[in-house]
Amino acid sequence: MNDISVQAMRRLSAAGGVEMPAMDLSKPLSEPEKQLVRDAFLEHHILVFRNQKLSKEAQAAFTEQFGELEDHVVRQHDGSKTPQVHTVSNLDADGKPSYKPLTHGNYFWHTDKSYHAKPSLATLLHAIELPTEGGNTQFANTGLAYEALPEERKQAFADLKVVHSWEANRRNTKNKPATEEEKRERPPVTHPLIRTHPETGKKVLYVGIHTSHIVGKSMEESRELLDELADFCAQDEFVYSHEWQPGDLVMWDNRTTMHRAIANYSMNAERRILHRTVIKGDDIPH
């Protein structure tokens, strides 16, 4: 590995995030560069690459160097060659910036695809069009949050299981209810409340807007605890808030972070458009 590159990294917050050394992600990375990315990913959880200009194809190719690309629930119908590259935007059905964009689930704390048996390992967002100010993405370090729990709560939570579902996501985000077809395609899944990161072995709180309830507890009691724990993770000391710059590409580890977009911009007047790729994850052992 190249020491100069390591020195060129800049930590972005105590909760995680690092600005990566200058690299051109539109070209295949060398083996040392890939190793640098993998190491930084495990240590800092959120990687910020500045000054990139990637086509959808180039973003897909960059992503595939770190794992298998994942499809999306809402497929693109624009005939693009890389349907795994999704567009995240604040546009409504008429293509206009809006307070009520077509999808707004990204404005709630979540970890990607936790309603899958094999939730997404990593997500990559590349800034295409940004508002003049705001529109941050916030990341909460769920490993730091777990560590900060009192010992008796760690023990009380050790064996709890949580049901996550697409249907719960639609309900919790006050979105259109999931269709019968969507429910069939995405049946509920159960994950441990305390998840162990498969590579670092560290424990994290695994919560967010895709959670339905805790196995063996009522809906009401579950919601109260799950919301409280999500709020606990979202305390300032555990959060890195990313202020987007043109050309940014941000790659994060869903296994130890939650994230959300912030509506701190002129949503109804300015466009916020990002291209998104996702790397498939593995089964979560119970």
- Residues in contact with ligand OGA by CB under 6 A are 88, 106, 112, 123, 125, 137, 259, 261, 274, 276
Q: Which of 18, 36, 88, 112 binds Mn ion (CB under 5 A)?
A: 112
Contact 17, 240 (CB under 8 A): yes
By Cβ distance, which residue is nearest to ligand OGA?
261
Supply the minimum distance, in Å, between the C-beta of residue 103 and Mn ion: 10
Nearer to Mn ion, 112 or 167 (CB): 112
Which single residue is written with the structure tokens 């606990």? 232
Q: For Mn ion, which stretch binds (CB under 5 A), given 29-37, 82-90, 106-114, 179-187? A: 106-114
Choose from ligand OGA, Mn ion, none: what does 276 bind? Cβ within 5-8 Å by kind.
ligand OGA
Nearer to Mn ion, 115 or 157 (CB): 115
Choose from Mn ion, ligand OGA, none: what does 137 bind? Cβ within 5-8 Å by kind.
ligand OGA
Supply the minimum distance, in Å, between the C-beta of residue 6 and ligand OGA: 28
Residues with Cβ within 8 Å of residue 7, at least 6 apart in sequence:
none
Q: Does 167 bind Mn ion (CB under 5 A)?
A: no
Which single residue is written with the structure tokens 């959670």? 211
SS3 label, residue 160: coil
Contact 209, 227 (CB under 8 A): no
Supply the minimum distance, in Å, between the C-beta of residue 242 and ligand OGA: 8
Here the tokens at position 250 are 């941000």
Residues with Cβ within 8 Å of residue 117, at least 6 apart in sequence:
189, 283, 284
Here the tokens at position 233 are 């993770």
Contact 182, 81 (CB under 8 A): no
Interacting residue ranges for Mn ion, rule: CB under 5 A: 112
